[in-house]
Structure 1
Amino acid sequence: MSRKVTWKIYDQGQLSLLPPSYDDLVPQNHPVRIVNTILDSVDLSNLEKTYRGGGTSSYHPKVLLKILVYAYLRNLYSSRKIEQALHENIHFIWLSGGAKPDHNTISNFRSGKLKDKFKKIFNQVVVLLAEQGYLSLKELYVDGTKIEANANRYTFVWAKSIKTSRERIEKQLRELWSYVEKVYADEEQLPNTPEFEAIDPKKVSATVDQINQALEGKAVDKKVKQKLSYAKKNWPDKIAKYNDQQKKLGHRGSMSKTDPGATFMRMKEDHMKNGQLKPGYNLQASTNNQFIVNYTLAQTTADTSTLIDHIEDVEQSYDQTPESLTADAGYGSQENYQALEDKDIDAYVKYNYFHKEQRQAKEKVDKAPFHPDKLYYNKETDTYYCPMGQAMEHVGQRKKKTANGYLQIYDLYRAKNCRGCPLRGLCHKTKGNRTIQRKHELIRLKAKAKALLLSEQGIAHRKRRCWEVEAVFGNIKQNMGFKRFMLRGLDKVETEIGLVAMAHNLKKVGLRA
C-alpha cells in the first residue's frame, strides 16, 4: 500500500510580516564575523589619508579591506568573482552592508591604495592575536617556498646573455677599427683610437661616427659599409635596452619581461616534468602556532641570503627581537649564525651534514677519518696535527666576500713534509705537502649551533618545526589554492601575499574559536 507524499511548502510569492535581517542569516560563529570583528579594531588612519577628497563619495577603506580579506579567506582572488559574490553571497552582502563596489574599484584598492600600506595593517592584526593568546612573538619558525609569478614563462632575460651581447658589440667595434688600421696601413698618421667598451649608447654612437669619419673618402668594402650602417642604426638602441634590463635585474641572474620583479626559479610544481625554470618569488615566512607572524618576498632562489633581512623586518615591524629562531639547513651559514648571535637570538638552525653527523655517530662509523674536522688543533700554538702527528703550522690567510658583502676569513695550515708518509694516499691526493683551510669563526658558531640543536629544547624545536611552517605552506597552496600570483610587480605582489597571510591567520582563529 503506497503512502501519500507530503511536500514542503514552496511559495515564492509568500509575504513576510517583517523583512528578514541579514544579521539573522549569518551564524554567530561564522568566519565572516571574525573578519568583521578583528578588522573593526584596526587603525586605518594612514590608509584614509591617501584619499584626496572632493568629487563623488568613496567606499570606506575598511569596507573594501573586509571584502578583500574575506574573499581571500574564501579562496576568491579574482576581482570580478568578488564583485559577483557581493551580489549573490549573503555573507558578502552582510559584511559589506549591502555596498556593491565593482571589480575596478576592488582591483584599484588592492593594487593601488593598499600598496606599501598593508604590512602595517597586517602587523596590527598579529599583535592583536598575540594579545589574545593565539600566538607568540618570542619563538619563530622560519622557512621559504617559491610561488609562481603572473608572468609569461617563456619571456626571460638572463644577466649572462646581456653580458655576452655587450661583449659581442664591443668585439665587432674592435674588428671595424682593425679594418680602419688596415686601410691606413700605408699612411704615417692613424686616426685616434676610439673607445670600444659598450656601456653607453652615446659612446657607442660616437665610436661608430669616429670609424665612419676615419673611412670617409676611402675605398671601403661594401660589407663594412653595410655593417657600419646597421651599427649606427641599431647598436645604440640595443645598448640602451641592455642598460635598462641590467638596471631592473640588479644583482639577479634573470628576470621576466612581463614582470621584471620576478626571477626564474625551479618550482616544485613542474607542469612539464623536466625541471623547467619559471618566473616567481621566494616567500619567506616566520610562524608560531601555525600563525604567520611575518612575511617577506625575496627575488633570489636561495634561502640562505634572505634570513637577515627577514629578521630585521620582524624587529622593525614589532619593535622587539624574538628570543629563538628555528630553521632548516638552508639557512645554516656563518653570516646567519653571526647575525643571530649578535642579536642574542637562540639559533636552532641546522647546518649542512648535521643529520649525516648524527647518523654516523649513531652507527659508530667514520667515513672521513682524515677530514680537517678530525685533525687535532692546539689553540694555544695555533697548530693542527696530521694523522701521523706532524705539525701543520699557520702559513697565511685568505679572505672572501659573500654576495651580501660579508667577509669570510680562511686560515691556511700546511704540513712540513708529506714525502714518504705511509698514509699519504688516504690523507690527501694533492701534490706537495698537505694544506688545509679553516674558518675558525664558522667552526665556533657551528659548535654552538650543534649544542643548541642537541639540547632538550633544541630537539623539541626541531620536532615542532616540521608541523609549523610546512603546514602553513600546505594550507596556502593546497587548501587555499594559491599557487600563482594575480598581480605583477614586487610591491603589488607583497600586498597580495599579505592578504593571503591575513586570510590564513583569520581562518585559523575561526577554527580555534
Structure 2
Amino acid sequence: MSHFRPILRDVDFLLPPSVQDWLPEGHLARDVVEVVEGLDLSELERAYAGRGSPPYHPATLLSLLIYGYATGCFSSRKIERATYDSLAFRFIAANSHPDHDTLATFRQRFAQEFEAVFVQVLQVARENQLSRFGTVSLDGTKIHANASRHSALSYGHAEALEVQLKAEVQELLALAEAADGANLPDGMSLPEELKRREDRLAAIAAAKVKIEARAAERFTREQAGHEAKLAARAAKATASGRKPSGKPPAPPTPGPRPNDQINLTDEESRIMPVAGGGFEQCYNAQALVDTASLLVVIPQVTQATNDKQQIAPMLERLAALPEDLPPPKQLTADTGFFSEANVVACESASIEPLIAIQRDEHHPHWSERFANPPAPPPEATPVERMVHRLRTPKGRATYALRKQTVEPVFGIIKSVMGFRQFLTRGLDNVRNEWNLVCLAWNLKRMAVLRLQ
C-alpha cells in the first residue's frame, strides 16, 4: 500500500458557490477591490455611450490592472489568461473573463483619468489615517524604455550612412540599366534592394530633422543662459567699477552635434547611465514618497538624466493637490537635486528643504554625530540655513530617513513587483504607465499598513 497522498485528478471538485469564499480574509485582491469600488469613477462611467452589449464596469477593469501590476502581471494578455488560471483574478473579475483587447483599450483610453484615481487613493489613505504626509523624500531611478540602445542613431553616423546608402543606390541603378543583368548575383532583386535603401534613407532623413529640431531647442536654452551670464557679468562690472576677472563665457554653438542621438524605436527615450555601470535606453522615473507610510505622493517621469531640474515640477504638482491633501512640511533629497534655486523654491512653497550639498564620509568621527552647531546669523542665506539644519541631530535624523524611504519603494517595484521596463512608448504613455505602477504600489502598501 502506497504511503503517498493519492493523486485524484478524475474526482469532481466544486468551488464554493460564492466568489467571496474563494480567497482568505486579508488577501490583496480583496483590498484592491474594496478601495477601487469605493472611489468615484463617474468620469469613467460617463465615457461609455450605453449602446451595444453591456460593457465591463470600469471598477472591474481598473482593479484587474492594478492587481496585475501589483503582482508582476503587466501584459493584458497575461491578465486575461490569469482570469482563468488564478483565483485572485477570478475573484476580481467576478468569474468573468475580459479579453486582452478590452483591457488594453481601457488602459490606453483612460490613462489620463488614472491621475485623478491616484489622488483619490491618497485621500483614502489620509482619511484612514494611514499617513499624514508630513515629510517626503524625492528620488529618481532609471527604468528601461521599450527600445534597445542599439536602435539609437547619432547625427554623425546618420550623415555617414546617408552618403553610403546614396552611393549604393547609384550602383544599383547602374546595374538596372544593364539590359542582360548578367552582373547580378543569384537571388538578388534590384527593386527590393532599391526600395530597402530608399526606405532607410527616408527614415534617416526624418531622424535628422528631429535631431536638428532638438538642437535648435537646446541652442535657444543655451543662448538664453549665455545672455543671462553676460548680463550678470556686466552688472558686476558696473557695481565694482572694474573689469571682471576671468574669460567671458563662450557663446553656444548652433546646430546638431555629431554625437546627438535619437532612438528609432522610441524617439522620446534617452540613453542614460544605469546602476552598476554602462548605458541603456531609459526614462528617469521620479517618485515623491512619504517617509512615514512609504506611499508615493507624486509620480513623475522625465527624459533628463540629471535630477537637478525636477524639484520645481514636483512643487507645482504638490500645490495642485486638493485642500484635504496639504503640502508636506519637509522635503529630503540627495545631492543630485541640490541647487540654490531649488532651496529657495522649497522655502517659497513653505516647505523646509533638507537637500544634501555634498557626499558625507562613510565613517565620520563619533563626535560629529552628536555635534550641535551654533545657530546661523539672521542674515544667513537659505542655503546656509539649510546646511545648519542638516548638521543638527534632528536634521541628520530626518535626512537619514531618505535612504529607508525611496530606495525600498524602488527596490520593491523592480525586484518584487518585477517592473523593470516600460511596456509603452513615448513620454506621455510612459508617464501614464508609471502612474499605474505607483498606484498599484500604493494599494499594495496600504494593504500592509491596515494590518499594522
Which residue in 2 is equivalent to 1:242?
Answer: 208
Displacement of 1:91 in angstroms is 1.3
Kept in 1: contact 2:207–2:264 (CA 8 A): no
Unaligned runs of 5+ in 2: 164-199, 222-259, 369-377
1:56 aligned counterpart, secondary structure: coil
Matched, 1:473 2:425: no
User: Is residue 2:92 matched to residue 1:95?
Assistant: yes
Q: What's the counterpart of residue 64 of structure 1?
A: 61
- Cα distance in 2, alignment partners of residues 493 and 50 from structure 1: 23
2:334 paired with 1:328: yes
1:23-49 Cα deviation digits (max 9, x unpaired): 112111111100000001111222233
Post-superposition Cα deviations, 1:181-206, rounded to whole Å, max 9, x if no partner, equal xxxxxxxxxxxxxxxxxxxxxxxxxx
1:146 counterpart = 2:142:
yes
Q: Deviations over 1:115-138 (max 9, x none)?
A: 222111111101211221222223
Q: For the structure 1 residues 498 and 240, does the alpha-carbon distance in structure 2 shift closer, same or farther, using more than 3 Å as the test?
A: closer
2:39 corresponds to which of 39, 42, 46: 42
Counterparts of 1:340 and 1:41, CA distance in 2:
34
Give distance in 2, aligned partners of 1:318 and 1:291.
Answer: 17
Find the aligned partners of 2:410 and 2:54 in 1 and give their Cα distance. 40
1:161 Cα shift?
4.3
Alignment of 1:260 with 2:267, yes or no, is yes
Q: What aligned pairs does 1:54-453 form with structure 2 within 5 A after superposition? A: 54-110=51-107, 112-158=108-154, 161=156, 241-247=207-213, 251=218, 254-268=261-275, 275=278, 277-288=279-290, 289-319=293-323, 320-352=326-358, 355=360, 444-453=381-390
Q: 1:82 to 1:447 in 2, by over 3 A?
A: same
- Closer, same or farther in 2 for the Cα pair 1:19/1:340, shift >3 Å? closer
Equivalent-residue separation in structure 1 for 2:343 and 2:120 (angstroms): 29
* Structure 2 letter corresponding to 1:505: N
Whichever residue aligns with residue 330 of structure 2, its letter is: S
Q: Which residue identity is paired with 1:153?
A: R
Pick aligned residue for 2:401 from 464, 467, 482: 464
Cα 1:148–1:269 change in 2 (3 A) is: farther
| One-letter amino acid matched to 1:336 | N
Deviations 1:345-370 (A, max 9, x none): 100111135x269959979xxxxxxx
Cα RMSD (Å) of the superposition? 3.4
**Alpha-carbon distance between aligned partners in 1 of 2:392 and 2:411, rounded to the nearest angstrom:** 29
The Cα of 1:235 is off from its aligned counterpart by 10
Q: Aligned equivalents of 1:344 and 1:474: distance in 2?
A: 31
Does structure 2 conserve the Cα–Cα contact (< 8 Å) formed by 1:115 and 1:491?
no
Cα deviation per residue 1:325-354 (whole Å; 9 max; x = unaligned)? Answer: 01111111011011112112100111135x
SS in 2 for 1:465: coil
Q: 1:14: Cα distance to partner? A: 4.7
The separation in 1 between residues aligned to 2:91 and 2:329, in whole angstroms, is 42
Note the C-alpha offset of 1:83: 0.9
- Measured after TM superposition, the shift of residue 279 of structure 1 is 1.4
Find the residue that maps to 2:54 and give its secondary structure: coil
Distance 2:4 2:85 in 1: 31
CA distances 1:205-264 after superposition (whole Å, capped 9, x unpaired): xxxxxxxxxxxxxxxxxxxxxxxxxxxxx9999766533344478549644221122111
Higher relative contact order (CA 8 A, sep 6+): 2
Count of residues in Structure 1 that have an aligned counterpart in Structure 2: 359
CA 1:351–1:100: 2 relative to 1, 3 Å = same
Instruction: Give the Cα separation in 2 of the matches to 1:339 and 1:84.
Output: 49
User: What corresponds to 1:420 in structure 2?
Assistant: none
**Offset at 1:503?**
1.7
Q: Deviations over 1:278-311 (max 9, x none)?
A: 2111111111121111111011000111111122
2:332 touches 2:353 (CA, 8 Å); kept in 1?
Answer: yes
Separation in structure 2 between the aligned mates of residue 76 and residue 14 of structure 1, nearest angstrom: 30
2:432 aligned partner, one-letter code: T
Larger-gyration structure (1/2):
1
- Could you say what secondary structure the match of 2:401 adopts? helix
- Partner of 1:308, secondary structure, is helix
TM-score, normalised to structure 1, is 0.63
Query: Following the alignment from structure 2 to structure 1, what is the Cα–Cα distance between the partners of residues 431 and 443?
Result: 18
Cα distance between partner residues in 2 of 1:349 and 1:331: 7
- Give the Cα–Cα distance (whole angstroms) in 1 for the partners of residues 98 and 268 of structure 2: 30
Partner of 1:486: 423
The equivalences for 1:20-31 within 5 A come to: 20-31=17-28
* Residue equivalent to 2:256: none
Name the structure 1 match of 2:184: none
Identity, % of aligned pairs?
Answer: 30
Q: In the TM superposition, what whole-angstrom CA distance separates every residue of 1:48-73 from its partner, at most 9, and x where no partner exists?
A: 33334423332221111000001111
How big is the shift at 1:487? 1.3
Secondary structure of residue in 2 paired with 1:466: coil
Pick closer, same or farther for the CA change 1:34–1:15 going to 2, 3 Å.
Answer: closer
More strand by share: 1
Between the aligned partners of 2:65 and 2:203, the Cα distance in structure 1 is 43
Shift of 1:467: 0.5
- The letter for the 1-side match of 2:300 is T
**CA deviation map 1:408-440 (0-9, x unaligned):** xxxxxxxxxxxxxxxxxxxxxxxxxxxxxxxxx
For structure 1, the 5+ residue unaligned runs are 170-233, 364-378, 380-440
Cα distance in 2 for residues equivalent to 1:506 and 1:129: 9
CA deviations on 1:138-173 (whole Å, 9 max, x unpaired) are: 311111111010112212244x649x959x99xxxx
Cα distance in 2 between the residues matched to 1:84 and 1:31: 19
Cα separation, 1, equivalents of 2:213 and 2:433: 25
